[in-house]
Amino acid sequence: MFLEPPEIKYWEYLEGRAPESHDMDYEEAYMIICLAMNSPEELKVLKEHIHELVHTACEALGLSSEDLKWYRTVFIKRPASMYRNLSPQDLSDIFPQIRKIDDPPPALYSIVQGHHAPFYNLGWVIPFSKVLELLGEPPQGKVEEHYNYTVLPSKWAECKPNTMFSEPPEIKYWEYLEGRAPESHDMDYEEAYMIICLAMNSPEELKVLKEHIHELVHTACEALGLPSEDLKWYRTVFITH
């Protein structure tokens, strides 16, 4: 009846956090471990078997039943709501669009000045012509698939990375102007850009990077033939009004 394990995900809201984490500059991220939601089907099962589920979950996770609660996931006008009340400039003042490698971003979903820290990717933003030079011509219609599942894993394995960095970089299309050459900002400029990502600003990855960033960068530069000077943190939340 309870074959599916609990699900864990980042928690975007203030509710359920320790009081000190409501401070505007508190930077630790929170997560929620979910046992069920309020769908009619799940509520029907829970009505008869809630105690069995709670007992199993507490035993599996080592958590207290007293701390288990229902949390609503739609909130209005909260201080830490996403960026609806910020202008693009205000957002950039708090969370710069581009950060240098030695200026890492806050952890994803931590609260900074009353707002959740957005996603950042550590990587290189490069034009598609440069991608072709580095990674070769992909099969038609399978650009990301070919690079992510064939080329990058092969290049990464050749460098024999630390097991801590066993996952190769990921490449994807880059939708934003930031990181592009100035001439590519023109509306008629047609070349696509991509980003080769080494890491993101999850609490876990930032913790590893704090001690091993130089090792990762050295391996990546050797594998990809790209200069460390062009490696930056790029924010992937942008707003317009």
Give dist(CA 125, CA 231) in Å, integer.
8
Q: 110 with 211, same domain? A: yes
What separation in angstroms does the CA of 151 have from each of 92, 135, 136? Answer: 35, 7, 9
Q: 150 with 219, same domain? A: yes
The model's pTM:
0.65
Q: 113 with 181, same domain? A: yes
For all residues of the chain together, what is the average pLDDT? Answer: 83
Residue 78 is assigned to a structural domain of this protein: no
Q: 89 with 54, same domain? A: no
Per-residue model confidence as pLDDT tens digits over 24-33: 455 677 889 9
Does the pLDDT value for residue 22 go beyond 60? no
Looking at per-residue confidence, does 77 or 81 come out higher?
81
Question: What is the torsion angle, in degrees rounded to the nearest 10, for the CA atoms of residue 83, residue 86, residue 88 and residue 94?
Answer: -80
Tell me which residue has tokens 């990464």.
Answer: 156
Q: 183 with 99, same domain? A: yes
Q: What is the pLDDT of residue 240?
A: 45
Residue 241 is assigned to a structural domain of this protein: no
Q: How many domains in the chain?
A: 2
Q: What are residue 99's DSSP bridge partners?
A: 233
Q: 119 with 225, same domain? A: yes
Residue 182 is assigned to a structural domain of this protein: yes
The mean-pLDDT minimum among 8-12, 78-82, 235-239 falls in 78-82
Taking residues 95-104, report their average pLDDT: 93
Taking residues 55-83, report their average pLDDT: 76
Q: What is the pLDDT of residue 70?
A: 93
Residue 17 is assigned to a structural domain of this protein: yes
The mean-pLDDT minimum among 1-5, 62-66, 68-72, 171-175 falls in 1-5
Residue 1 is assigned to a structural domain of this protein: no
Q: 25 with 49, same domain? A: yes
Helix (H, G, I), strand (E, B), or coil: what is residue 123? strand
Q: 148 with 109, same domain? A: yes
Helix (H, G, I), strand (E, B), or coil: what is residue 63? coil
Looking at per-residue confidence, does 235 or 182 come out higher?
235
Q: What is the pLDDT of residue 117?
A: 87
Per cent of the chain over pLDDT 90 is: 46
Does the pLDDT value for residue 105 go beyond 70? yes
| Domain housing 31 | 7-67
Q: 127 with 170, same domain? A: yes
Q: Which of 16, 41, 67 is the last residue of a domain?
A: 67
Sort 199 into a burial class: Cβ within 10 Å, 0-12 / 13-18 / 19+: buried
Q: 189 with 224, same domain? A: yes
Residue 205 is assigned to a structural domain of this protein: yes
Taking residues 64-89, report their average pLDDT: 69
Query: Where residue 81 falls among pLDDT bands split at 50, 70, 90?
Result: very low
Q: Which of 20, 41, 67 is the last residue of a domain?
A: 67
Residue 133 is assigned to a structural domain of this protein: yes
Q: What is the pLDDT of residue 1?
A: 62
Residue 134 is assigned to a structural domain of this protein: yes
Does the pLDDT value for residue 189 go beyond 60? no
Q: 119 with 197, same domain? A: yes
Q: 17 with 94, same domain? A: no
